Structure 1
Amino acid sequence: MPNSYFQFKQFKINQGQCAMKVSTEACLFGAWVQANSAERILDIGAGTGLLSLMLAQRFDAVIDSVEIDEGAAHQASENFKESPWSDRLNIHHKDIQSFAESSSIKYDLIISNPPFFKSSLKSLSSTRNLALHQSEGLSASTLSVVIDKVLSNEGKAFVLYPEYESQLFSLEAKAKNLFAKPALIVKNQPNKGVFRIISEVQRNDFDAIPEQISIRDGKEYTNEFVGLLKDYYLHL
């Protein structure tokens, strides 16, 4: 049974009310997200508030976190209040479509670790298969629409998906005149297949050569992983 909390160096994540617990890939995501600067950040599907808190530690930005689940939103709110950055962390308990429609803010950094349905489909050759393949709760299409609505002209969004869902999201983003390309390829082990992909999204086309990282080599964390998480994990 997962612990009811996860202690980081500068903040604590209580997670007893959340279905989605703190995960290694989410921690990697929060530590890796790259931006030259960020004044307004949007976290789509905040869950426990983990990503918002990780980015609050790195960026002196106002962060809006949107979470549709009441229990998770309450949990994130409590985690925000107990953190050193409570004055610039905002939780919004509502669906992201409603939030985007009512928002007049354009964000220069957007992050999302959306829920997904792991498909058994292996290729993108069937248009019908693509049309039928939807994430649970927040579809790739909806996520693309929301990003298009609230992303600033020069802003960036980063989205974490498994490999197939990442490809699907790129197609949905293209249909909204957005460009989504792999920025970080994540493996559990150097000799294993792709575990997750972090995609970067921009309004204008851009060149992208994805980085690659393995979380562990055997039983030990890799040096690259330790380098990213050492400011967060207690025992690194």
Structure 2
Amino acid sequence: MPNSYFQFKQFRIEQGGTAMKVTTEGCVLGAWVSKVAVGSGNVLDIGAGTGLLSLMVAQKLPDVEVHAVELDATAAEQARQNFEASPWNDRLVLHEGPVQDQVFADAFELIISNPPFFNDSLRSPQEAINLARHDSSLSQTDLLTAISRLLSSTGTAFVLYPEREALRFAELAVQQGFFVCARLDIYNSPGSKKLRTIVGLSKANRPMHQAALHIKSPTGGYTMDFVALLKDYYLHL
């Protein structure tokens, strides 16, 4: 029977009661954002789930406060417990409910999100799974509206989507006045189809940061780039 938790070097993600578990691409988002983000202002995690991204960012950015918003009550409670058990519980704040209803005193320098993206597939009989996976709970328009309202004029928002949804999100963002300032294409291995894409948005026009990451080498082991990115988090790297 698989573990109900995912153990990292400095924290543990309890995930037994949540619909969305720890994924490799989610870990890549947390690690890459922590590496390339600029500025030292506070951070907002939209759709926090178990709190994975918030914890990864809190580990690498010691001077920031991380606010996490989660709609699903069960996931929010799981994230709250994961925050409290971490070494950075004094810098992690959980807000339960829709991001559309959240009000903050200041704008955020960094916004991160691993949002739901299914919009035309069969729905699950379990509502928690639908909230986590289907964008009826957070459409791309809703997400961009939240980012526009909550991102500072000098900040960056990073969002993880499959390739088709990432292209649509980037196009919609540009139409709404954002600039695409970063992009990371994630592949399982050389020659494989694109697994996920991280899109970075800003309100100001600045040089584009574009890269690709292969998780596995042709021989099946982790690539040097993947190891370098995740070695501070994964237990056995």
TM-score when scaled to structure 2? 0.89
CA distance in 1, matches of 2:14, 2:99: 23
The match for 2:39 is: 37
Q: CA deviation at 1:209?
A: 4.5
Does 1:117 pair with 2:121? no
Q: More displaced, 196-205 or 44-53?
A: 196-205
After superposition, the Cα gap between the structure-2 partners of 1:206 and 1:138, relative to the gap in structure 1 and judged at 3 Å, is: same
CA distance in 2, matches of 1:72, 1:231: 25
The match for 1:129 is: none
CA distance in 1, matches of 2:27, 2:136: 22
* Aligned ranges 1:72-221 → 2 under 5 Å: 72-99=75-102, 102-117=103-118, 135-217=135-217, 218-221=219-222
The match for 2:68 is: 65
CA distance in 2, matches of 1:89, 1:224: 29
The alignment-based identity, stated in percent, is 48
Q: Amino acid of the residue matched to residue 151 of structure 2? A: L
The match for 1:125 is: none
The match for 2:131 is: none
Q: Amino acid of the residue matched to residue 154 of structure 2? A: E
Could you tell me which runs of 5 or more consecutive residues in structure 2 were left unpaired when the two chains were aligned. Answer: 122-133
Contact 1:179 1:205 in 2 (8 A): yes
Q: Amino acid of the residue matched to residue 117 of structure 2? A: F
RMSD, aligned CA: 1.6
Contact 1:111 1:158 in 2 (8 A): yes
Contact 1:112 1:160 in 2 (8 A): yes
Q: CA deviation at 1:35?
A: 1.5
User: Following TM superposition, where does structure 1 have runs of at least 4 consecutive aligned residues deviating by more than 6 angstroms?
Assistant: none
CA distance in 2, matches of 1:37, 1:180: 17
Q: CA deviation at 1:91?
A: 0.5
Q: CA deviation at 1:205?
A: 2.2
After superposition, the Cα gap between the structure-2 partners of 1:37 and 1:170, relative to the gap in structure 1 and judged at 3 Å, is: same
* Aligned ranges 1:212-231 → 2 under 5 Å: 212-217=212-217, 218-231=219-232
CA distance in 1, matches of 2:181, 2:61: 24
Q: Amino acid of the residue matched to residue 80 of structure 2? A: S
TM-score when scaled to structure 1? 0.89
The match for 1:131 is: none
CA distance in 1, matches of 2:47, 2:184: 20
Query: May I ask how many residue pairs the two structures share in their alignment?
Result: 221
CA distance in 1, matches of 2:7, 2:172: 37
Task: Name the SS of the counterpart of 2:22 in structure 1.
Answer: coil
Q: More displaced, 206-215 or 23-32?
A: 206-215
CA distance in 2, matches of 1:198, 1:58: 19
Q: Amino acid of the residue matched to residue 234 of structure 2? A: Y
Could you tell me which runs of 5 or more consecutive residues in structure 1 were left unpaired when the two chains were aligned. Answer: 121-133
Aligned counterpart for 2:49 among listed residues 33, 38, 47 = 47
